Amino acid sequence: MSMHEIEELQEASIRLLDRIEGLDHRSMFKRLYDFDAYFDTGFTHFRVMDILLKRRFYYRMALEDHPDYAQFKDALEGIRKEDFSPIARDPSTKYTATNPVVAYWSEGQLYCEAGSEIWAKLSELGWLSAADREAPQPIDIVDIADTVVSFAIAEENKELAAWWYAVLPVVLLFESPPRPASGSDDVVLQRIRDAVVKSEAYKIKGDGCLSYPERDENWGEFEPDDLRFLQWWYEPLWGASSNTA
């Protein structure tokens, strides 16, 4: 699967979710960007930064507002000449697994994510409102897919629904720790699959749509229950004609 298509899936889903009021947008956005753990994607948050800021998933501030500015002043001042730069926990050295990126610098502004180390320090310092001091909560990716697919189909955006139909089993079966596949026993998964089938979104294989697995692929790495889930999930696709929409 093309990693650019995963990035497009994230972006399109965030744009759709932003049009729906009453959701926990911050938690949904956090879970969507957790996709990066499964796929080789780039940092694409600035494609929708206006939405991330509006929904309080990202925060923008002056460089001097970095909570460790006094400690790392020389290193932080050195990034002013950059158009874009990731900022490590210790910005005086390169970021590594033990010195992770905690913020970003772009066009004269500092950006940090809700739930990040810098966000936590800003919260402790009382620089954020009470609502902003609440961290994004764990949320089931299946529930996000359910929301996106139902609204995408209502908006006649079958391609976005098709993306989710293609990628959702991959995410579920490769989570760490692995998530047992419940298939047709899961009411929400059943609803997503039924919506995709009824709308015939699964037949779309146009430009930008994630590729689907073939019936005869080597599935030896999966447990029997997972194989049954995949066979149930993709049966409409494998049993459909080769016509494309």
- What pLDDT shows up at residue 205? 66
Give me 127's structure tokens.
């620089």
Tens-digit pLDDT profile for residues 87-100: 999 999 999 999 99
pLDDT band at 102 (very low <50, low <70, confident <90, very high): very high
pLDDT of residue 177: 59
Q: Which pLDDT score, from 0 to 100, does residue 222 have?
A: 72
| Residue 12 identity (one-letter amino acid) | A
Average pLDDT over residues 47-66: 98
Local confidence band at 243 (pLDDT 50, 70, 90 cut-offs): very low
- Could you report the per-residue pLDDT of 6-45, keeping only the tens digit for each? 899 999 999 999 999 999 999 999 999 998 877 888 899 9
In the block, residue with structure tokens 């889903």 = 13
Confidence of residue 176 (pLDDT cuts 50, 70, 90): low
Q: What is the pTM of this model?
A: 0.90
Query: Cα 127–130–133 angle (5° rounding)?
Result: 70
Task: State both tokens at 98.
Answer: 């033990």
Residue 225: phi, psi to the nearest 5? -65, -40
Q: Is the pLDDT of residue 210 over 70?
A: no
Looking at residue 203, the DSSP 8-state letter turns out to be G
Give the mean model confidence (pLDDT) for residues 98-103: 96
Pairwise CA distance, residues 168 & 188, whole Å: 12
* DSSP string for 92-116: TS--BTTB-EEEEEETTEEEEETTS
Tell me if residue 86 falls in helix, strand or coil.
Answer: strand
Percent of the residues in the chain that have a pLDDT greater than 90, as a whole number: 66
- pLDDT score, position 242: 41
The whole-number pLDDT of residue 2 equals 43
